[in-house]
Amino acid sequence: MSTTETATPEDSTTTEPADAAGEPSVRVVDEGPGWRHRLRLDAVGRRRSGVVVVVLAVLAAALTWWLVQRDALPDGAAFRIGDEVVTAKQVERRVDGLEALYGVEVPAAGSEREDFLRDAAKSMAVQRMLQQEAEERGIVVAAKDVDSTLQGIITQRYPDGGRSAFVAALGELGATEEQVRQEIRDQILVSRLFDAVAGDVDVTEAELKEAFAQRRAELGTPVRRELRNIVVADRRSAQAVLRQLRDGSAFAAVARSASLDSATRDAGGALGAVARDDLEKAYAKAAFGARVGSFFGPVRTESGWNVGEVVRQLPARAAVYSELREELRRTVLAERSLEKWRAWLEDVIAGHDVTYADAYRPADPGAVPDIDQADVTGGR
């Protein structure tokens, strides 16, 4: 006789006590003799899952705190690049060095000064990047190279006082010679890095002729006029000079005695041959509107009140490839080198982590700074 087993409460569907919301917290359907063991494993799994959730929450909070602390800058900082913090004082000292070395004019106050400091901070950050790149390539600058460059700058910028005038200028600006030497070292370093990165460009003869065809109009020589000019402080003085000239006084003699323009005074006011686009708009209109051999003015420009004379007119001249080939080749090569350098520098900037303080954050931190050939070749 067969025996039919009667299901007991343990063998039927079992429900754990309800939770606070009134829903069963565990519901188990009869799955055979091992269901009690599986129930215990499920309970352990739920406890472990809860622990994991808590741990992940703690880790997330810790990561958020670390990110905030990482991006936070200490008081007095201008920016952080990698692990290095550069202070506002360091940026200001570099500006002092630039002012002493190149005569850079720093705005006294207002939005212009704020923009200047942002540009200075970005320039300094990029300089740090380039120093790292140069170090990785084994590029170094010897002290004798810095000495030679510094002496050349002193001779050019302080022709009268020499080194004494240079030292006096440093004192007035609150800068030191070491700051200036560091700036020179950095500039030489960038120049050599530029040669290593972008010094191998070339241009074919066909490309050169194509460039000439595209630029023929701008390469030609426009109409020019040979001018002489006298600069004085006010309109009344200019009118007096004009009367002297019309009364027959020699232009060169009046220029030497009355002109405020030291660049042309000793040459009798001679400006040489200039095109219309070489001149300020108001002055160009007067100079090219007057007849050859006549006087013109008074005309006010940024330098003062001007009285001029049209000595002669030189006709326009079309560009000739054979005459301009070498100059054009140098120009095209320089343009290509600069284009290659900018593309490389864009990648360098993108590969560095820089955090700026609010007062020093540039408008576009990731953009390549405005540069030209002289910036990276020292004017070569």
Q: Does domain 221-314 sit in CATH 1.10.10.10? A: no
Contacts with 74 (C-beta within 8 Å, 6 or more apart), sequence order: 85
- Residue 64 is predicted with a pLDDT of 42
> 23: alpha, beta or left, given left = phi > 0 and alpha = psi -120 to 50?
beta
Q: pLDDT for 164-193, tens place per residue?
A: 998 998 888 778 888 889 989 999 999 999
> What are the domain boundaries of the chain?
14-69, 78-201+332-377, 221-314
pLDDT of residue 371: 61
User: What is the predicted pLDDT for the residue at 35?
Assistant: 44
Same topology, domains 78-201+332-377 and 221-314? Answer is no
For residue 85, the cross-strand partners are 80
Q: Whole-angstrom Cα distance, residue 242 to residue 247?
A: 9
Q: What integer pLDDT is reported at residue 240 of this predicted model?
A: 97
Q: What confidence score (pLDDT) does residue 55 get?
A: 47
Q: What is the pTM of this model?
A: 0.64
Residues 140 and 215 sit within 8 Å (Cβ to Cβ): no
Per-residue pLDDT of the chain in tens (380 residues, 90 and over written 9): 444 444 444 444 444 444 444 444 444 444 455 544 444 545 445 555 554 444 454 454 444 433 434 457 899 999 999 889 999 999 988 888 788 777 788 888 889 999 999 999 999 999 999 999 999 999 999 999 999 999 998 998 888 889 999 899 888 877 888 888 998 999 999 999 999 999 999 999 999 999 999 999 999 999 999 999 999 999 999 999 999 999 999 999 999 999 999 999 999 999 999 999 999 999 999 999 999 999 999 999 999 999 999 999 999 999 999 999 999 999 999 999 999 999 999 999 999 999 999 999 999 998 998 765 445 544 44
Q: What's the confidence (pLDDT) of residue 12?
A: 45
Q: Where does 23-142 have alpha helices with state H? A: 35-71, 88-102, 110-136
CATH topology classification for 78-201+332-377: Triger factor/SurA peptide-binding fold (1.10.4030)
The pLDDT of residue 172: 84
